[in-house]
Amino acid sequence: MAGNETITFSKDHIYGIFIVALVALLALSVFTSGFGIMPAKSGNTSTGTCTGTSGSTGTGSTGGTGSTAGTGSGDPLAGINTLTVSPGDSPIDGQASAPVTWVEFSDFQCPYCSRLYLQTDNLIKSNYVVTGKVQMYFRYFPLSFHDKANVAALAAACANAQGKFWEMHNKLFTDQTAWSSLSASEAPATFEGYATGLGLDGTKFASCMSANTYATQIAADETEGQSYGVQGTPGVFVILPKAKTDIATLKTVVGSYGDGMTLFQDSDHITVFVAGAYPYSAFSAILNTVTY
């Protein structure tokens, strides 16, 4: 009878419906970045880059598309553009006599910058910086879509005013997951807590933060980075002395990593621009072309 019909499903039919539902849920998760539970990260996931700021490639001796040098057919530097990168105003990590200079443009809220710090920078420091081979510098490049990147940069600059730049730098990257989940209004108080924990004068630090004392320096770093061709973070310039570098081997190393690495030069140095959070092995391959 029409009112008492019974519908039965076989076990295979039920399994089929279950599998189709799982596939649909998986696809939905991909397109919604885990149903919104985990925020999607901007950037190139193959190299690890937070992108969002349109950088200029520059036009002169301080720009990424300046004049070329070395046009002779046997010159290993033929066709390599001219670029001179400044280390900026942040304090050095390492020895000023180290032959290689590392200039890193970074955003404290960028997850790839944190990854570079945790997985690569610390190994560079232990194997090359403390041994007198590399001197390291940090430059600010807060991206506009990271709502707390600028205030985090300010926290580092204010810590620097009391001689604790690298300590705050390390704290911001180590605890990035914790403070980046806060609201923009909550972050300054958290950074003040970090400052106190690092032994800084809390009153002076809070005053520096509220006055936005180093906003000009932070903006200047980003503008200069854009002139060098930086368009996202992290962006690292590894500056090697020509006289101590095996240029042929360096070109082979850079070429093996594709478009993420670019060679530049000036009169005394050859510079590798590394766009993205490449692994330690990539940077050590570059650094090992130098005779120390």
pLDDT tens digits for range 23-74: 444 444 433 333 332 333 333 334 688 976 433 333 333 344 333 444 445 7
Question: φ and ψ at 277, to 5 degrees?
Answer: -85, 70
Write the burial class of residue 143 (CB in 10 Å: 0-12 exposed, 13-18 middle, 19+ buried). Answer: buried
Instruction: Calculate the dihedral angle through the C-alpha atoms of 77, 81, 86, 87, rounding to the nearest 10 degrees.
Output: -60
pLDDT tens digits for range 66-105: 334 444 457 889 999 999 999 999 999 999 999 999 999 9
Which of helix, strand or coil describes residue 27? helix
Q: What is the pLDDT of residue 147?
A: 95
Sign of the torsion angle spanned by Cα atoms 287, 288, 290, 292: positive
Percent of the chain with pLDDT over 70: 76
CA 198, 199, 200: angle at the middle one, nearest 5? 100
Centroid of chain to Cα 182: 21
* pLDDT bracket for residue 281 (50, 70, 90): very high
pTM higher than the cut 0.85:
no
Q: What is the pLDDT of residue 20?
A: 44
CA neighbor of 146 nearest in space, from 104, 119, 180, 112: 180
Q: What is the pLDDT of residue 47?
A: 63
Structural fold of domain 50-146+219-287:
Glutaredoxin (3.40.30)
109 in Cβ contact with 153 (< 8 Å): no
Q: What is the pLDDT of residue 49?
A: 80
Q: What is the pLDDT of residue 13?
A: 53
Q: What is the pLDDT of residue 48?
A: 83
Instruction: Calculate the dihedral angle through the C-alpha atoms of 175, 181, 184, 186, rounding to the nearest 10 degrees.
Output: -70
pLDDT tens digits for range 175-213: 999 999 999 899 999 999 999 999 999 999 999 999 999
Name the residue ranges covered by the structural domains of the chain.
2-31, 50-146+219-287
